[in-house]
Structures are given as structure tokens and as C-alpha cells.
Structure 1
Amino acid sequence: MEGEINNFIVVWISVLASICYCHGVGKFIPKGPPRLLVILPVVCLFLYLPLNLHSIHFGSTTSFFISWLANFKLLLFAFGKGPLSSNPPIPLSRFITIACLPIKIQNHTETKPYPSHQTTQKGHKSPLNYAIKVMLLSALVRVYSYRQYLHPKFIMLLYCFHIYLCLELLLAMFGALVRALGRLELEPQFDEPYLSSSLQDFWGKRWNLMVNGILRPTVYDPVRSTSTRLMGRQLGPLPAIFATFFVSAMMHELIFYNVARVKPTGEVTCFFLIHGVCLILEIVMKKAVNGKFRLPPTVSGPLVLVFVLVTGIWLFIPPILRCDADTRARRETVAFVGFVKNVAKSVNFTSFNAVSR
């Protein structure tokens, strides 16, 4: 664990130095191909750096933060777009924060509702909401102790909820830290996806809104602009939706590879492409009936949740289990706790000797 923590520190020092370089580039090199040319080495470096990490927690988090989100933000920045671009230029400290962390500063010119029974007026969830989710996650971990008495499919179902709870709580912790230190108002990262009334509602308005917000300007909008000119306004969004899900699938495959270091099986790609095709069919059907027929949310909501869970158990969870991610994560947690205890003991021992002298 000590060696992995050292690697983690080196990787993130490299990330911070690269982000500072990109911030300086933005001051002297005009947006467009020239800026893209000098930023591309950083993009390639961010794809390589997670390969130096071998733990589940450090590797997956770093891959998600820099290989995906930071790279896409830098590509937008190269053309003067995205959250890193503004006039006047963003201060270095805020530039680093936005580039490295999965956050999006709330734009007061937009009024986006985030309806939820447990959210505040600004769209952010109450402490009670997160407390309940922490307790649910703790209960899930406790249930795993009895896995020998449970059906494997039920365990996989629990993993689906585990992934959701871990991801939301992790992003919420980073968001809370940034709000506390930077006094920034951030957009929520999730909006209770289990309350979705359709696939369009699930993927577009509730699930991982940070990823949604970065895929729209980098993939969806450019493809839609091109396809609309070729296919018209009615059909133009459909190729853009498929392209967005395809890019999301490729980035998930990259994260899975950084964690497992095995050849991709394509299951994760199939998961996202199936959802992309089904979302396209849903949109086409909605346009065909033109609002004349609509399932009530009490019916469509459970159908969406069942579809997401079934396809997740079928295609998304198996690659995670084949690399023993659950076992490795438990070992890493125990090792990290032991490492922290040893460091604390060393600090206390040093302090005691200093006082004795």
C-alpha cells in the first residue's frame, strides 16, 4: 500500500503540473488547432498516467477524473469552449479545481429544475438524504458477509445499488469539499435516478449529470449539428444520441481496462449501445404518438428501473466480478486502514519522544 500511495502522489503531481502548463498555454496560444496541438501531449499523458496505479480505488478514480473528464474538458478548452474557458481567463486555482475534479459550477443564467423530495431550493440534496444513503451502503456491506446463503444473481443486484451509492457519495464528497473551500455553487451530480420515468429521463436528467454535461458539448452537439444538416431536424438528434453512448462505452472500457488490465470483452460496450438504441426507439415512439398515449410514471418508472438493473446484471457487472474487483476492494480497504494506523502510531511515537526530551 505504501508503494501505491507513492505512485498515486507522483501521478497527481504530474497531473497538477500538466494542468498548470495548459493554463499557461491558454494565455499565449489562440484557441483552435494551434492550442489543440500543444495540449495533445497532455491528453496522451492523462491516458497513460492511470496505468501506473494498480489499486481499484486509486486506479478507477484517477482514470475517471483525468483520462475521461479532464481530457474532455481540455479538448473543449483547446477550442475556447467548455468550463475551462472564459473571458477574462479563469484564475489558476479555479482552473485546476475544475479540470481535475468531477464538478460543474452552476450557471445562474440557466434555470434547471432538479425536482426531488429530498433536495434543497438550490437543487442540492439535504444531509438527511446522504445520511440515509450512507446507512444503506453500510447495510449492503454487512449483507455481503452472508453471501454464501444468497443467490449469485441477488448479489449482483446488490452490486448494482452498491456502485450507484458509492459513485454518488464519492462525487458528493468532492462537491462538498469544493463548495466549502472555494465557496462555489455547484450543480448536483445525481438526481435520484431510481425515480426516473423513462430512459430519456434516466440518462438525460438524473444519472451522473457531470458526465452528461461533458458529453453533450464534446460529442452530442457536434454530431447533432452535422447530422441535422444531412438528415433534417427530426432525425438529426438520433445519430448524436448513438454517438454519445458509443463514446461513453469506450471511456468505460478504458476505465475497466485500467482496473482489470485484461482484454476488453465488449460487454460494457454492448450495455451502452443497447441503452442508446432503446433510448432512440423511445424517442421515436414518443414522436409517433405525439403525446396521445403515455404510460403513467407508476408504470413506466419500475419498467425503466428493471430494464437498467437487468441489463446491468447481464452485461455491466460480470466484467467487474471476473477481475475480482469486490475482493480486491476489500483487501485494499483493510490495507489502507492498516497503513493509516501505522502512520498514526509513528507520528505519536515521534511526538512522545520529542516531548520526553
Structure 2
Amino acid sequence: MEGEVNNLIFVWATALISLYYCNKITNLIAPGTKRLSAFVPVICIFFYLPIRLTTVHLAGTTSFFITWLANFKLILFAFDKGPLYSNPPLPVSKFILTACVPIKLRSKDGGSKSGSKSPINYSLKFVVFLLLLKVYNYEEYLHPLVKMALFCVHIYVVLDVGLAMVAYAARAVVGFELEPQFDEPYLATSLQDFWGKRWNLMVTGILHPTVYLPVRSISGRYLTKKWAPFPAVMATFIVSGLMHELIFYYIGRLKPTGEVTWFFVIHGLLAGVEVVGKRMLGGRLRVPAVVSGPLALGLVVSTSFWLFFPPFLRCNTEVRSCKEFMAFLELVVRRRFVAPNDVSCPYY
């Protein structure tokens, strides 16, 4: 555990120095391909850094924050676009924080309503998380599909509450209102609504300008207005699948199987058909939300069982993450470093 902490310090110190360089070099290089070329070494470094980490929580979080979000934000910033671009420029501290943490800054005097959820919302989700830990004690009596469904809820609750904690910590530093990371995805009325407006909004927000809009612009030259969004939707989901595949590799160090990518290809195909279909029908045929919502969520859950979770669980992610948490408690409570493999998980 002590070695992992040293690696973590090295990784994030390197990331902060790299982002400081990116912030300062922009004063010397105009936006465009030259600035992007100056960012390429940093982008390559950000792809390498998660390799230095071996634990599920640290490798997974770092690869998501740095390898995915920060790299995509830097690509946009090379052309004076995205969350890192501001006029006047962001101070160095806010630039670095915005680059490497999944937050979206919004000025308090902007007149918009805060997107923060109530503490009760997050408290209820934390209670759900504790209840899930209790249920895991009886996993031998649960059907495999039931366990997988509970794991879906587990993943959502951990991501929603965890990212909210990061966002609130960031708000204490920068003093800005922050956009929510999730918008109650279980209330989605369609696949387009689920992926585009409710699930992991920071990923949606970064993929839209970096992938969707450029591909949409190109496809618009060759396809009709109704069909032009389809290649853009497909490209967005494929890129998301490849990035998830990479993050899963950082977590488990197992050879990618392509299952996660196919999961997103399928959803990209279906979401693209939905978008085109709505354009072609012009709103003349609408499926009631009480029908389309459960169908969309059922499709997400069933395909997750089939393609998304198997490679995630293949490297014993749930057991490893539990042991890592117990090792962290040893560090906090007893002030001693313990390797995750030297502790037991009470839930698995």
C-alpha cells in the first residue's frame, strides 16, 4: 500500500506539472494545430500515468480523470474551445482543477439555477449503498441475475455520490457552482434521454464537442439533414467504448476482449436509429414515457449483463475494490500501511 501511495504522488505531481506547462505554453502559441502539437507529449504522458497504479480505485479514477477527461479537454483547448477556454483566461489553479477533475464550472452570478441536488438525495443513495453491503452477506441465496442487477445499482450509487463528493470539494476550492454529474438516469424516457441527458453528463459534455460535432459537420456534407446525425452518434459511442475498454485494461491489466466496445456500438446503433426516426417522423408518433422508459432501462441493464459487466468482473474487481477499502480503513484508523491482499473482505 505504501508503494501505491508513492506511485499516486508521482502520478498526480506529474499531471499537475504537465497541466501547468499546458497553461503557460498557450501564452506563446496561437490556437490551432501548433498548440495541439505542443500538447501531444502531455497527452501521451496522460495515457501512460495510470500504468503506474495497480489498485482498482486509484487506477480507475486516475485513468478517467486524466487519460480521458483531461486529454479531451486539452484537445479542445488547443483550438480555444471547451471548458478550459475562457476570456479572460482561467487562473492557473482553476485551469488545473477544471482539467483534471470531472466538474463543470458555472459562475454564481450567471443567473442560472444551481444544478446541485439536495443533501437528502445523496443521503438516500448512501443508505442504499449500505443496504447493498448488507444484502451481499446473503449472496449465496441470490440468483445471478439478481446479483447483477444489484451491482448495476451499486455502480450508479457509487459513481453519483463519489463524483458529487469530488465536485463539492472542488467547489470549496474554486468557489463556483457546479453542474450535477448525473440526472436521475432511472427516470429516462428513452435511450437518447438516458445517454444524452442523464448518465455521466461530464462524459456527454466532453464527447459532444470533441467527437459528435466534428463528425456531424463532415457527415452533413454528404448526407441529408435527417441522416447526418447518425454517423456522429455512432462515432461518439464507439469512442466512448474504446475509452471504457482502455480504463478496464488499466483496472484489470487483462487483454481487451472488445465486449465493452460492442456494448457501446449496439447502443450507438439504437440511439442513432432513435434520433433519425424522431427526425423523420417529426413527432407524429410518440411512444408513452411509461412504456419507452422501462424499455430503455431494460435494454441498458440486459446488455450490461451480457457485455459490460463480464469483463469488469473478470478481474475480480468487486473483491479487489473491497479489500482496497478495508486497507484504506486500516491506514485511516490504525495509521498503518497494509497491502490489500493482506486483508479480507467481509462482503465477498
What is the one-letter code of the residue matched to 2:35? R
Matches within 5 A, 1:103-182: 103-106=103-106, 121-182=113-174
Q: Deviations along 1:234-279, whole A, 9 cap, x unmatched?
A: 2111100000000000100010000010111111001100000011
Residue 35 of structure 2 is matched in structure 1 by 35
Asked if 1:188 is matched to 2:180, the reply is yes
* Alpha-carbon distance in structure 1 between the residues aligned to 2:176 and 2:295: 37
Q: Deviations along 1:11-57, whole A, 9 cap, x unmatched?
A: 10111110101011111111111111111000000000000000000
Q: Deviations along 1:149-201, whole A, 9 cap, x unmatched?
A: 11112111111111111111111011111222221011111110000001111
What is the one-letter code of the residue matched to 2:321? A
* Alpha-carbon distance in structure 2 between the residues aligned to 1:107 and 1:238: 34
Instruction: Note closer, same or farther for the CA distance 1:73–1:18 as it changes in structure 2 (3 Å cut).
Output: same
Q: Deviations along 1:290-322, whole A, 9 cap, x unmatched?
A: 222211111111111111111111111111111
* Alpha-carbon distance in structure 1 between the residues aligned to 2:114 and 2:157: 22
* Alpha-carbon distance in structure 2 between the residues aligned to 1:311 and 1:244: 18
Matches within 5 A, 1:317-356: 317-343=309-335
Residue 307 of structure 1 is matched in structure 2 by 299
Asked if 1:224 is matched to 2:194, the reply is no
Q: Is the 8 A contact 2:108 2:176 kept in 1?
A: no
* Alpha-carbon distance in structure 2 between the residues aligned to 1:291 and 1:219: 27
* Alpha-carbon distance in structure 2 between the residues aligned to 1:4 and 1:157: 32
Give the CA deviation at 1:68.
0.1
For these two proteins, the number of residue pairs brought into alignment is 337
Residue 14 of structure 1 is matched in structure 2 by 14
Q: Is the 8 A contact 1:8 1:53 kept in 2?
A: yes
What is the one-letter code of the residue matched to 1:155? K
* Alpha-carbon distance in structure 1 between the residues aligned to 2:109 and 2:214: 23
2:246 to 241, 254, 266: 254
Query: Where do 5+ consecutive residues of structure 1 fail to align?
Result: 113-120, 346-357
* Alpha-carbon distance in structure 1 between the residues aligned to 2:106 and 2:261: 31
Report the 3-state secondary structure (helix = DSSP H, G, I; strand = E; otherwise coil) of the residue aligned with 1:263. Answer: coil
What is the one-letter code of the residue matched to 2:234? F
* Alpha-carbon distance in structure 2 between the residues aligned to 1:57 and 1:179: 22
Q: Is the 8 A contact 2:46 2:66 kept in 1?
A: yes
Q: Is the 8 A contact 1:2 1:339 kept in 2?
A: no
Residue 58 of structure 1 is matched in structure 2 by 58
Deviating more after overlay: 26-35 vs 63-72: 26-35
What is the one-letter code of the residue matched to 1:301? G
Residue 81 of structure 2 is matched in structure 1 by 81
* Alpha-carbon distance in structure 2 between the residues aligned to 1:338 and 1:145: 21
Residue 93 of structure 2 is matched in structure 1 by 93
Residue 343 of structure 2 is matched in structure 1 by none
* Alpha-carbon distance in structure 1 between the residues aligned to 2:199 and 2:100: 20
Using the size of structure 1 for normalisation, the TM-score is: 0.91
Residue 245 of structure 1 is matched in structure 2 by 237
Q: Is the 8 A contact 2:83 2:104 kept in 1?
A: yes
Q: Deviations along 1:114-141, whole A, 9 cap, x unmatched?
A: xxxxxxx523210000000000011111
Residue 340 of structure 2 is matched in structure 1 by none
Report the 3-state secondary structure (helix = DSSP H, G, I; strand = E; otherwise coil) of the residue aligned with 1:231. Answer: coil
* Alpha-carbon distance in structure 2 between the residues aligned to 1:123 and 1:85: 21
Give the CA deviation at 1:111.
9.2
Instruction: Note closer, same or farther for the CA distance 1:295–1:111 as it changes in structure 2 (3 Å cut).
Output: farther
Q: Is the 8 A contact 1:106 1:187 kept in 2?
A: yes
Q: Is the 8 A contact 2:226 2:276 kept in 1?
A: no
CA RMSD of aligned residues (A): 1.7
- Identity level (%): 53
* Alpha-carbon distance in structure 2 between the residues aligned to 1:229 and 1:18: 38
* Alpha-carbon distance in structure 2 between the residues aligned to 1:283 and 1:224: 13
Using the size of structure 2 for normalisation, the TM-score is: 0.93
Residue 272 of structure 1 is matched in structure 2 by 264
* Alpha-carbon distance in structure 2 between the residues aligned to 1:283 and 1:236: 10
Report the 3-state secondary structure (helix = DSSP H, G, I; strand = E; otherwise coil) of the residue aligned with 1:333. Answer: helix
Residue 342 of structure 2 is matched in structure 1 by none
* Alpha-carbon distance in structure 1 between the residues aligned to 2:316 and 2:138: 18
Report the 3-state secondary structure (helix = DSSP H, G, I; strand = E; otherwise coil) of the residue aligned with 1:190. Answer: coil
Instruction: Note closer, same or farther for the CA distance 1:30–1:287 as it changes in structure 2 (3 Å cut).
Output: closer
Q: Is the 8 A contact 1:196 1:202 kept in 2?
A: yes
Q: Deviations along 1:216-236, whole A, 9 cap, x unmatched?
A: 110001110111011132211
Give the CA deviation at 1:6.
1.2
Report the 3-state secondary structure (helix = DSSP H, G, I; strand = E; otherwise coil) of the residue aligned with 2:80. Answer: coil
Q: Is the 8 A contact 2:241 2:261 kept in 1?
A: yes
What is the one-letter code of the residue matched to 1:63? S
* Alpha-carbon distance in structure 2 between the residues aligned to 1:175 and 1:95: 15
Deviating more after overlay: 59-68 vs 307-316: 307-316
